[in-house]
Structure 1
Amino acid sequence: MSLIPVDEALARLLGDVERLRTEYVALPDALGRVLAEPVTALRTHPPFDASAMDGYAVRASDIATVPTVLTVIGESAAGRRFIGHVDDGQAVRIFTGAPMPDGADTILIQENAERAGDMITAMEVVAKGRHIRGAGLDFRQGEPLLEPGRRIDPAALALIAAADLTQVPVVRRPRVGIIATGDELVEPGRLRTDDQIVASNNFGIAGIVHEGGGEPVDFGIVPDDEFAIGETLDRAMAGGCDIVVTLGGASVGDHDLTAKVFAAKSIDLAFWKIAMRPGKPIMAGRRGDTRFLGLPGNPVSAMVCAHLFLRPLVARMLGTSTTTNIWRARLATPMAANEQRQDYVRAIARNVPDGIVVEPMSVQDSSMLKSLAMANALILRPPHAPAASKGDVCDIVVLRHIT
């Protein structure tokens, strides 16, 4: 297969992906999940007219002129309303959040009343309805509150609880199997030979899946052996993985076996090799309902490809936005003309008074994780982009918060 542009590869990857099914979870377990159906209020909130201040529930007509003396006939507190009726010349001591007594239509705040025993003197005229939260001020029973596709953050969770839902309709999390391949890899903390390296890609990719709302499943390290890779792919599919990600072995060397195993397992490839850097040797395919991504073994290449392809794939299965977070910035230094591949250059972006400036990091080798961890953006350089000068406007892919 020839190299294809990034946008075309993404379109092929996402074109026929559908949102996963709806499941119901208990309210405390809904945080961070994606709503699958609209949330409609099961009750009115607040369910009654309530006081917004500590003071006295009175009739506005009684305090049209001041000072006026009123008789306190009882008390209304949150969760314990006054039973009775407020008539002419009467008042009820009331606290914030307490139900309004029948007959009262305004709140005289306690700072504007002088009390002596069961009598108060109103010292200020208050308009009818003042300091009262009307029933349904926030929302009413049957009112739609949240739309599908909303990630449930703490504020949304509180709203769902106030709407009286105990079970929340959410999209099932995509289950993402992660398979690291390579004789040279060893788990962190394990004994290794001088020719081996510590596996890191699986942890980074799992983090991207988790942040995106998916469920990562680590299938460990698999040696450079076609049978072993194939057997692990079978286990991932049998384990209900919606997406299977392989790390390494996607190129064309003698020890790059992933493409051969994909073919042996009848995985229909949507693409193999993209006109991008880092990350040219990336494969995507499908078998039945399972999607496959073969990412490069170089750590930076794997992470960049995961940001650009795996994250949108998870988002599409969740029914959320698949758009990459691209901002505009100005270059802090000149950049050379680009070649035929789309470049994603690790960089540090920062806010300045007149916008965002971005500076490419000096070394861009695809094996260097330290520079990726330090970077908060990727400068997007289109194929055949001409040389750029300091101050030129460019697109950046935002990786982390820009300060």
Structure 2
Amino acid sequence: MNPPLALEEAQARLLALAPVLPAETITTEAALGRVLAQDLHATRTQPPADLSAMDGYALGPSDGPWALVGESRAGAPFAGVIAPQECVRISTGANVPEGGTRVLLQEDARVTDGMVTASEVPPTGRHIRLRGFDFHGGDLLLPRGTRLNAGRIALALSGGHGSVSVTRPVRVAVLDSGDELSVDPANCLPHQIPASNGAMIAAMLAPLGCEVLRLGPVGDDMAALEAALARAEGADVLVTSGGASVGDHDLIKPALANWGAETAFWRVAIKPGKPLLVATRGTQVILGLPGNPVSSFVTAFLFALPLVRALQGDVAPLPAALTMQAGEPLPAIGPRREFLRAVIEGGAVRLAGSQDSSALSALAAADCLIDRAAHAPAAAAGEALRVFPLRIG
């Protein structure tokens, strides 16, 4: 039996199985969480003209007083040209008329018989947003491989794009298995536990815009597993939870083999999550995650989410690590690299609770994973740690 793979080698081998999916064009407003399939260039200039940043008076270039000759409102600009001794009333976001060189704040202005004076004359250019200070037509707004969030959707729309080309949604089938799993969490027999892994994995995939097909829970029965697998024919990715180890009732590996899947690798040198299985079936990629819920979560975070991001064309599919201080002493680590569930408090991290691979209360409290190397000695409070924030999207 081959030794377990190092995490980075396993991730690299998995992502090598993930060609970017085809693109589709959708409305920009519907593209939250989707990944751009093409570079996005501005088709217009923003701002399209010199605009006032404040309510007040657009002044000609003299030192005043200025004759008030009209008004420029947002969406209704002043049509004329203002002379040096003239000004117009102006609102925030309104076009600065030709001849206007600065904006006098309304609280600094006095208006008497149609003449405006200033308690202090503003310098040239004050309170004016110049045309194109944000971007010009033709500028690169967002490169291919960018995931669209709220701010990027606003930028795309401001750049003139009512629709965008994005990779199509990843179709993911999620299958959790085990005789001990109960569909109804409110009515578990003493020998059962509520089935939570499938829902948990589906929830992790949701921010990435996946189309998720739930196939479980399924008992430890070969015929039932093969029937469930048959429903995953159209999936780009199949994620299973449970049954991927070496016990007498761990049937995922033989069921996948009967389905025509070929194992790419099995077992990764991490804790929790050692019995991770990666297989392929044609263009489908299959991830067999451990059944313990924390193991399932950690391996989904480290493998399933990066796989989906890579299929979407995300240029940075792997989770990003930070360096933070230990908020408390940490014990020494054994022979496997370990990911500890933790919380960030005051710029430091502390353990969220029990590190048992079935402890959901600690997982629910955690907002990060502490990455501890194999054979790492005990860490003192204040020591630098490598930490993965649990950001999904």
What's the counterpart of residue 47 of structure 1?
Answer: 48
Does structure 1 residue 86 correspond to structure 2 residue 110?
no
What's the counterpart of residue 304 of structure 1?
Answer: 298
User: What's the CA shift for 1:202?
Assistant: 0.7
Give the TM-score of the pair, scaled to structure 1: 0.87
Q: 2:356 aligns with which of 360, 365, 370?
A: 365
Q: Which has the larger radius of gyration?
A: 1
Does structure 1 residue 247 correspond to structure 2 residue 241?
yes
User: What's the CA shift for 1:201?
Assistant: 0.7
Does the Cα contact within 8 Å between 1:380 and 1:394 map onto a contact in 2?
no
Change (3 A) 1:394 1:204: farther
* 1:187-218 alpha-carbon deviations (Å, 9 max, x no partner): 13464433222101111111221244433321
SS in 2 for 1:343: strand
Query: Structure 1: where are the runs of 5+ without partners?
Result: none
What's the counterpart of residue 8 of structure 1?
Answer: 9
Give the 5 Å matches for 1:379-390. Answer: 379-383=370-374, 385=375, 387-390=377-380
Change (3 A) 1:119 1:284: same
Distance (Å, rounded) in 2 between the aligned partners of 1:91 and 1:394: 60
SS in 1 for 2:334: coil
User: What's the CA shift for 1:359?
Assistant: 4.2
Does structure 1 residue 194 correspond to structure 2 residue 190?
yes
What's the counterpart of residue 30 of structure 2?
Answer: 29
Does structure 1 residue 181 correspond to structure 2 residue 177?
yes
Deviates more, 1:261-270 or 1:212-221: 212-221
Distance (Å, rounded) in 1 between the aligned partners of 2:130 and 2:75: 16
Distance (Å, rounded) in 2 between the aligned partners of 1:343 and 1:71: 74
What's the counterpart of residue 275 of structure 1?
Answer: 269
Distance (Å, rounded) in 1 between the aligned partners of 2:309 and 2:114: 63
SS in 1 for 2:74: coil
Does the Cα contact within 8 Å between 2:4 and 2:274 map onto a contact in 1?
no
Does structure 1 residue 106 correspond to structure 2 residue 118?
no
Change (3 A) 1:400 1:307: closer
Does structure 1 residue 217 correspond to structure 2 residue 207?
no
User: What's the CA shift for 1:284?
Assistant: 0.6
Query: Structure 2: where are the runs of 5+ without partners?
Result: none
What's the counterpart of residue 375 of structure 1?
Answer: 366
Does the Cα contact within 8 Å between 2:17 and 2:285 map onto a contact in 1?
no
Change (3 A) 1:379 1:138: closer
Give the TM-score of the pair, scaled to structure 2: 0.89
* 1:93-132 alpha-carbon deviations (Å, 9 max, x no partner): 2222222223333333333432223333355444443332
User: What's the CA shift for 1:179?
Assistant: 0.7
Code of the aligned partner of 1:207: A
* 1:124-171 alpha-carbon deviations (Å, 9 max, x no partner): 444443332222122111111112222222222221121121102222
User: What's the CA shift for 1:13?
Assistant: 1.2
Distance (Å, rounded) in 2 between the aligned partners of 1:245 and 1:127: 63
User: What's the CA shift for 1:285?
Assistant: 0.7
Does the Cα contact within 8 Å between 1:331 and 1:389 map onto a contact in 2?
no
- Aligned-residue Cα RMSD (Å) equals 2.5
